[in-house]
Amino acid sequence: MTAAGRAAVVAGLLLGIAVPPAPVALAEGCAAAQEQVVGEESWAQRRLAPSRVWALAEGAVPVAVVDTGVSATAPALAGAVTPTPDLGGGPADVDCSGHGTFLAGLIAARPRDGVPFAGVAPAARLLPVRVTDNPAEVDPVRLGAGIRAAVDAGARVVAVGLVTPLDRPELRAAVAAAAEKDVVVVASAAVRESGTRAYPAALPGVVAVAPLGVGGPPPNTPLGAEPAVAAPAEALVGIAPSGAGHREASAPELAVAYVAGAAALVRDRHPGLRAPAVVARLLATADRPAGPSPHPRVGHGVVDPVAAVTTVFAPSGPVREPVAERLDVPRPPEPDTAPARRALWFAAVVLGAALVLGGGAGLVALGRRGRGSPTPAPGDAR
């Protein structure tokens, strides 16, 4: 296959475009470096606006990305990637495909001056788990091993960017182990073929995420699990495994990144919440659609990171935990009162001087009037 053909395969996988099977390994056609920097925010970043809560929380918790790996050399992820043990597919901090790195960038790309793109949780520590080089070919047993590795590495949130139509005991056991360790697992509800199931999203305890386009849910994207929540998945701006620039991609499973990032923000701001309460908060604060809820295409609605972090729940609210919570907004800096104090002292001095001078002038005037009309001596009387 020519270099152009290999590049087309990689681009097709990242963009969700159907491509013919490649006769050679995908690793021979690694994603190209990107150097062109975007000039404005994407529609997804504008809609979710996670930067509005960064003064309260930046998602400073370990987030695992179970995918094709995450490039530790991507400038936007500098210092953010802590690789997990190799599962046999190669080092986890290397990503030839670019799929896992794009997902990781949506979660935790660090803000840079003059660059409008950043991840939802820019302080998250990324734990990449590499289980495949090709997102279209996923071994469910290895996927289960990847989720276990993420949990064992200390992840508080696990973003699964891969989907398999196969249900296996090893995969179920891995998801159950994550629940026992109080870990939030997020996966895509979308499938490539209608009539198939989406795993691990279809398993109990997993947050199943539906894709969202600029105009709403993509009408032709089949779902293989009942969605809990929806998030942007089309015309997204993200990063490549190398280069300081950005690329655009569309794929249903990329919606997982926004929900995982929102979960990291909640876990950072509310560290006492257990995983079920974190998920309940995400669902209760989602931007709900009109009509019945949950909706068959978007679940409880579009994830809202700002509301998920800042909403206060009363005991009678839809979420029982946390109860009677108080939102602590950072205080503004104390104003500098020194100039005002100096001005008051100056005014007092001026006023005092004016009183002294005014009093002295009055005494002089009285003295002058006294000298102009002297009292007659007794001998002068006529």
CA-based R_g, the chain, Å: 33
- % pLDDT > 70, the chain: 74
The pLDDT of residue 5 is 41
Please, are residues 69 and 100 in contact by the beta-carbon 8 Å criterion? yes
CA dist., res. 103 & res. 87, Å (int): 20
Per-residue three-class SS string for 111-159: CECCECCCCCCCCCEEEEEECCCCCCCCCHHHHHHHHHHHHHCCCCEEE
The pLDDT of residue 348 is 56
The pLDDT of residue 342 is 64
Is the pLDDT reported for residue 326 higher than 80? no
Query: At residue 222, what is the residue type?
Result: P
Q: What is the pLDDT of residues 165-174, one digit of tens each?
A: 999 999 999 9
Is the pLDDT reported for residue 183 higher than 70? yes
Altogether, the residues listed in the chain come to a count of: 382
The pLDDT of residue 340 is 58
Range 3-26 average pLDDT: 36
The pLDDT of residue 86 is 77
The pLDDT of residue 380 is 39
Q: What is the pLDDT of residues 266-285, one digit of tens each?
A: 999 999 999 999 999 999 99
Number of Cβ within 10 Å of residue 137's Cβ equals: 12
Range 243-259 average pLDDT: 97
The pLDDT of residue 341 is 61
Higher pLDDT, residue 86 or 76: 76
| 185: phi then psi, degrees, rounded to nearest 5 | -110, 125
Range 360-374 average pLDDT: 40
Higher pLDDT, residue 27 or 85: 85
Share the mean pLDDT of the chain: 83
Q: Poorest-confidence range of 150-159, 228-237, 247-256, 325-334? A: 325-334
Please, are residues 161 and 100 in contact by the beta-carbon 8 Å criterion? yes
The pLDDT of residue 118 is 98
Please, are residues 167 and 199 in contact by the beta-carbon 8 Å criterion? yes
Q: What is the pLDDT of residues 110-152, one digit of tens each?
A: 999 999 999 999 999 999 999 999 999 999 999 999 999 999 9
The pLDDT of residue 365 is 40
Q: What are the domain boundaries of the chain?
A: 3-310
Is the pLDDT reported for residue 184 higher than 70? yes
The pLDDT of residue 141 is 97
| 88: phi then psi, degrees, rounded to nearest 5 | 110, -10
- Torsion over CA of 11, 16, 18 and 21, rounded to 10 degrees? 60
Per-residue three-class SS string for the chain: CCHHHHHHHHHHHHHCCCCCCCCCCHHHCCCCCCCCCCCCCCHHHHHHCHHHHCCCCCCCCEEEEEECCCCCCCHHHCCCECCCCCCCCCCCCCCCCCHHHHHHHHHHCCCECCECCCCCCCCCEEEEEECCCCCCCCCHHHHHHHHHHHHHCCCCEEEECCCECCCCHHHHHHHHHHHHCCCEEEEECECCCCCCCCECCCCCCEEEEEEEECCECCCCCCECCCCCEEEECCCEEEECCCCCCEEEECCHHHHHHHHHHHHHHHHHHCCCCCHHHHHHHHHHCCECCCCCCCECCCECCECCHHHHHHCCCCCCCCCCCCCCCCCCCCCCCCCCCHHHHHHHHHHHHHHHHHHHHHHHHHHHHHHHHHHHCCCCCHHHCC
Is the pLDDT reported for residue 255 higher than 90? yes
Q: Which CATH superfamily is domain 3-310 in?
A: Peptidase S8/S53 domain (3.40.50.200)
Per-residue three-class SS string for 332-346: CCCCCCHHHHHHHHH
Is the pLDDT reported for residue 98 higher than 80? yes
Confidence band (pLDDT; 50, 70, 90) for 372? Answer: very low
The pLDDT of residue 85 is 77
Most confident among 2-6, 21-25, 348-352 (mean pLDDT): 348-352
Is the pLDDT reported for residue 320 higher than 70? no
Range 298-321 average pLDDT: 82
Q: Which helix (H) or strand (E) holds 354?
A: helix 338-372
The pLDDT of residue 90 is 76
Is the pLDDT reported for residue 290 higher than 70? yes
